[in-house]
Amino acid sequence: MEPGPRERVDKVLARLVPDVSRAEVRRWIDAGRVLVGGAPCRPSDMVGPGSELEVTPLAPPPSAAEPDAGVLLDVLYEDEALLVVNKPAGLVVHPARGHWTGTLVNGLLARPGFGAELQDGPDDRDVPRPGIVHRIDKDTSGVLVVAKTAASREALKSQLAAHTVERVYLALTLGVPTLKHIRTAYGRDRRSRLRFTSRLEEGKLAVTHVQVRERLAGGRAALVACRLETGRTHQIRVHLSEQAKTPLLADALYGKRPNDPELADVSARLGRQALHAAVLGFVHPSSGERLRFELEPPADFSRALAELRALG
């Protein structure tokens, strides 16, 4: 390996083999396929100038998900490297406990170009995610990019890690946020495995930029644009609820039923958190061209917005 400071062996290999994820490198290490100086190593072992690494890659693990051509995808753009879809509210992105079928991944696997070679290794919930580089919650609608090659997957993940991907969400909030920039520690809520929280002294960094687009219902609600600098699970929902004190309309996990009967009626008719991934912009991993996709909210979100306007 090239001269330089000592680093973790899994980090070094992920850099030396850019088409392979760090999770996949750890899988090789755990299987004894990576030797340092002729001996098996651990992911956290440190290597430096003069270290000899011997790597015997494993075959990609098969995806446990089954192809399902019945999952209809609204494709906005597709080429040999990636695919961009308009994910409807109610569609789960990848198989997980309680949702092993009928997901976006099941639909992708029924299309040419998606298979075991795109498997990125299981995440902390041990679920398959071929080609998936970022996620949208089940009940959030909007634009999502999916990789069709391992090289594209790693390039897109690198852009996400560098915070160069443009992601803007539209939200309907209960109350009008006054915070414009929210920057907190972030992690799982120890009291509930389903929830995340920003009320931590230490954790991963989470940054959300908030812009009020329109005051609604006489100031009882608002149309808000949230630009993600980081992309933690449930980040916008948590930040608006815990930090801005203006939870999303109809968010059953981080919000509550409004005391105001008019807002409660709008919330009940919507029936899912009022969040829509409206803008996604990134650099194409092959051509270097800047791509940008912008989607109007779906009918249910637009109807709730119109109802809130009428209450003003």
Distance of CA 65 to the CA centre of its chain: 19
Task: Name 187's bridge partners.
Answer: 197
- Distance between the two ends of the chain, CA-based, in angstroms? 65
Quickly count: other Cβ atoms within 10 Å of residue 172's Cβ: 29
- Cα gap 236→140, rounded to integer Å: 11
Q: Are strands 141-147 and 275-283 parallel, antiparallel or unpaired?
A: parallel
Instruction: Check: CB of residue 264 under 8 Å from CB of residue 258.
Output: yes
Quickly count: other Cβ atoms within 10 Å of residue 204's Cβ: 13
Angle between helices 299-310 and 261-270 (to 10 degrees): 170
Q: Is 137 a catalytic residue?
A: yes
- Cα gap 57→309, rounded to integer Å: 58
Instruction: Check: CB of residue 88 under 8 Å from CB of residue 71.
Output: no
- Using alpha carbons, select from 160, 183, 174 the residue that is nearest to residue 275: 174
- Cα gap 211→276, rounded to integer Å: 15
Instruction: Check: CB of residue 187 under 8 Å from CB of residue 196.
Output: yes
| From 137, 139, 251, 300, the catalytic residue | 137
Give the alpha-carbon dihedral of 121, 230, 247, 243, to 10 degrees: 130
Q: Are strands 181-188 and 74-78 parallel, antiparallel or unpaired?
A: unpaired
Q: Note the residue count of the chain.
A: 312
Which active-site residues does the annotation give?
137
